Structure 1
Amino acid sequence: MNELVTGDAVVLGLQPARLPSRALAIAIDLAVVLTVFVLISIGLAVATVTLDEAASAAIAVATFLLVLVGGPIAVETLSHGRSLGKLACGLRVVRDDGGPIRFRHALVRGSMGVVEILGTFGVVGCIASLVSARGRRLGDVFAGTLVVRERVPTGRAVAVPPPPPWLVGRFAQLDLSAVPDGLWLAIRQYLTRMHQLDADVGGSIAQRLADDLAGRTGVPVPQGVPAAAYLAAVVNERQARDVRRVMAAARRGAQGTAPAPVPVPVPTNAVPAAGLLPAEVSRPVEGAASPAVPSGTSPAEAPGGPPATGFAPPA
């Protein structure tokens, strides 16, 4: 089986993880947890060297429960099913319906992991995974969870149907930071396949997803808004925010890497442009008419010459 089908006959398109990838993820997690456990045990042994055997045994048991049992449970709860090993191998723990796991799921998985992984060195877990059609170990069966692959080959992308026009931009102020990726994936899978479902089944799934999404955002679904339309509008708002974020990052990168303007050298013998010529002293133009002499005045009495007296010096 290559796809996950819920109890309402909805194909979620999630691929269950196979045994080799799960074994590698568990090996990475065990290496990290055992290293932390050994370091803490050595530190506590040095610090409690003066205590009696009963107190030392109690501290050892408490360390085992807190580190080897409580550590993986806390990590899977806080990361919504992605431990360090699963993150490295591209795996994730989800519910049977494709939603994100919670504390009770991680608690059951961690408690059963002590028996089938630590107690039997993984033999029981390997046998259970080989027998199960979806590769689930006993902890997954009792917790109602499944380990799926997040890094799947990309195929033909199916566009999410747009919301009604009267809902576009209505959820611009909605806080979407607390919505996990698993819930987004389940909503997207539903929106791309909702026309293939029965009306009653699709309505119940949409209502359940809408309630889960409203619980994550802290804002109830508006009155009179269908659940499917609400989901489409919120997904559209998330996509719009992603587009704006990418465009803003691209603009910042373009501004940070823009080359400085290169100065263009101006030749020294170039003719200045009009309006930038220096002021010059006006020179008379050859062939131009001389200034007219006022009538009644001889040429000798031109302005600026000595006055005529009628006396001629002897030759």
Structure 2
Amino acid sequence: MVFTVRVSVAVPAAAPGGAGDLVTAEAVALDLRPARLGSRAVALLIDILVQAAIGGCLMLLAGVTVAILPERVVDDALVGTVWRVLIVLVLLAYPTIVETRTNGRSPGKAAMGLRVIREDGGPIRVRHAFTRALVGFTVEWPGLLLPFVTWAGSLTTMIASGRGRRLGDLAAGTLVVHERRPAPSRFVPGMPADLQAWAATADLSAIDDELAGAVRQYLSRAPELREPHFGTLQRMLAAEVEARVSPPPPAGTPPWLVLSAVLAERRRRYAAQLAAGRLVTERVLPGFGRRPLHPPIPAVRRASPLR
């Protein structure tokens, strides 16, 4: 079936054992791009600014509340307890709640297109977010235990990790990945000159979109494939295409030339049909579907004279 062919094309292109390969509980390999030090540092800076703003507002509110309390109630112990509670809320409770509620996307990570996920590719839970925040609070940032030493250790761990994981990620079993992955531009061969006359007269109506998509995927990723996958997939696709094309291609034509010719001719016919449809639409409904360069200015009614 065509579906089987499409799955087979995608498997060899993945790099086994790569830094971005994750295997889910269903044994499905995910090709993800781990976030590195640069993007995570910018995201951390944004999160620090947000936390500083929230902490400033809470401290202002706490200061006003303490100021209006009776003097016999306020003492050094109360003030110290309030400040400690605020620090825990801002540096521990806030990141835990935000990463849990937003599915691993704090304001800084959302701005940089990052997300925290589990090692198996699933969404994080409260325990993962709390572990990350707790390790960051005590070791990494701000790091209550030997700040400068732990900062250097965390930075070294992130640089040395193949997936850019910090100490909090190692403790929680998580990692940070890019949500927005740039789509690589792939080259698809054009029409072979020797097969142009045959393709122009061939009946391609039996080749559906699914089979054409499988051929396009194979041709665009052929340089990444290795034997025996390269030859096996080429023969399977060529056999199915030739069985649906009439008349058959010239004898002795290499399979990859047949695939390229069929795909290019199908694309040419689709473009011709689209252009013809646009001409008919323009003839029947001139200007339909086009936005004017200068939208008309609504007429202004003259105000009636005052009486």
State TM-score, norm by structure 2.
Answer: 0.49
The structure with higher relative contact order (CA 8 Å, sep 6+) is: 2
Structure whose CA Rg is larger: 1
State TM-score, norm by structure 1.
Answer: 0.48
